[in-house]
Amino acid sequence: MRDRDPALERLIDSLLYEGYALYPYTPGATKNATPTPFGIVYPPAYAAELTSTFDHLELRCVLDAPADAVLRAEVRFLEPGGERHQAQAQRVALSGTMVGALCAAPATKEARIGSPALEVALSLGAEALSDGGGYEIVFRVANRTVVRSGLDRAGALGRSLLSTHPIVEVIGGRFVSPLERPCASRNTFPLLATAADDAVIGATIVLPDHPQIAPESRGALFDSTEIEEALLLHVHALSEGERAEIEQQDETVRAMVARAAASTPQDIIALHGRVTLRDPQTNEPPVEPPGLSDPRAGEELAEVGGVAFRRGHKVRIRAAADADLEARMLEGRAATIERIFTDYDGKTHLGLTIDDDPGQELMRDSGRYLFFFPTEVEVIDP
């Protein structure tokens, strides 16, 4: 089999550690009481006691391919060890096998991982669909670890596969989206993982097909579905005591905090968001016609109700009785008109900064103005 796409490997690594530690990342935090709440495959004796627990998972998906296409499968998971966040990433793989051979007999493998050992069993099979539309692929991952009866959840987690992610890849075919051809997967959420549709991941959380890691990302923060900008700011807000407590955790958490703490203001600004425009016909960025004015500059002058409002002039805020609380708190304050905008409905909006506000220059530099309608201000410097 060919080498794996590095982008797919980064996606798998990111998903593997989803939920591993959560802000504020300290080991004593209540929501960090267990290594991960996602993708757990429990030992059979514990799973049998509850209807909400599983001792296996089963990824099912549809493959469009000839009989000589080659499938390979593996499972990635975290092996628990020590207290809370000391899990070790593990991998168990099946070698490549032709789809036709898998229809005759599934490929199987058993492995012992760690000490005390976790007993892991894999099975990869295929069944030709009756409508001639390819094959249904079945990849099963089972935890066969023998444990004593009566374990509590903490004890069962110590003998479980955590954040379990099955991956199936094909050479010579393509997978059909589980949204188009749903199958009865169990304890996992399959999705197309590559642009070529030659890999399927069974995720522990619901994700769309073809998920991607933003190119601006500074690295895994154990919560890749969250807003990374906010998470980085949270790390920067940790106290010295919290940082010292985190330094005593495992290397994975320690490295994450160090990487996040080293992020620069420019790194964080880059995470604030971006919009990419493309022509729907050519898929190319649109070309801006020459001579257009910058829409961010607004207008120099607007006349509303016989009153002229000009950029740079002074006004006094006269908020209406039914205005929001922030506007009423500014009642009577002098302000400067920084921007004048007219919307598609013809309404005029005045972007103001407060004159005696120590942060006035910061508001100007960042373009974060307070907006009022012309009826909510009176001109004091016409």
Over 201-225, what HEC string results?
EEECCCCCCCCCCCCCCCCCCCCCC
pLDDT tens by residue, 42-57: 999 999 999 999 999 9
SS3 175: strand
Supply the Cα-derived Rg of the chain in whole angstroms.
29
Q: How far apart are CA 209 and CA 252, in angstroms?
A: 28
Cis ω for the linkage preceding 116 (within 30 of 0): yes
- CA-nearest of 321, 379, 311 to 342 is 311
CATH topology of domain 296-379: SH3 type barrels. (2.30.30)
Kindly indicate the confidence band of residue 218, based on its pLDDT and cuts at 50, 70 and 90.
confident
- Give Cβ neighbours of residue 345 (< 8 Å, ≥ 6 apart): none
pLDDT in tens, 314-359: 999 999 888 889 899 999 999 999 999 999 899 999 999 999 999 9
Domain ranges of the chain: 6-220, 296-379
Looking at residue 336, what DSSP letter applies?
E
Q: Rounded mean pLDDT of 10-15?
A: 92
Cα–Cα distances in Å, from 339 out to 179, 296, 319, 373?
A: 47, 8, 19, 12
**Could you tell me the pLDDT band of residue 84, with boundaries at 50, 70 and 90?**
low
pLDDT of residue 249: 79
What gap in Å lies between CA 126 and CA 139, rounded to an integer?
Answer: 9
Distance CA 226, CA 362 (A): 28
pLDDT tens column, 236-270: 888 888 888 888 878 888 888 888 889 999 998 88
* pLDDT score of 382 more than 70: no
Rounded mean pLDDT, 204-210: 93
Q: Minimal CA–CA distance to 139: which of 52, 38, 62?
A: 62
Check: CB of residue 183 under 8 Å from CB of residue 202: no
Per-residue pLDDT at 32: 74
pLDDT at 377: 96
* CA 256/CA 251 separation, integer angstroms: 8
How far, in Å, CA of 301 to CA of 304, rounded?
A: 10
Q: Are strands 189-192 and 70-79 parallel, antiparallel or unpaired?
A: unpaired
pLDDT band at 2 (very low <50, low <70, confident <90, very high): low
Give the tens place of pLDDT for each residue, 347-356: 999 999 999 9
Distance, CA of 98 to CA of 289 (rounded, Å):
55
pLDDT average, residue stretch 153-179: 94
Q: Are strands 70-79 and 174-176 parallel, antiparallel or unpaired?
A: unpaired
| Amino acid present at 358 | P
Helix, strand, or coil (residue 153): helix
Other beta carbons within 10 Å of 303? 11
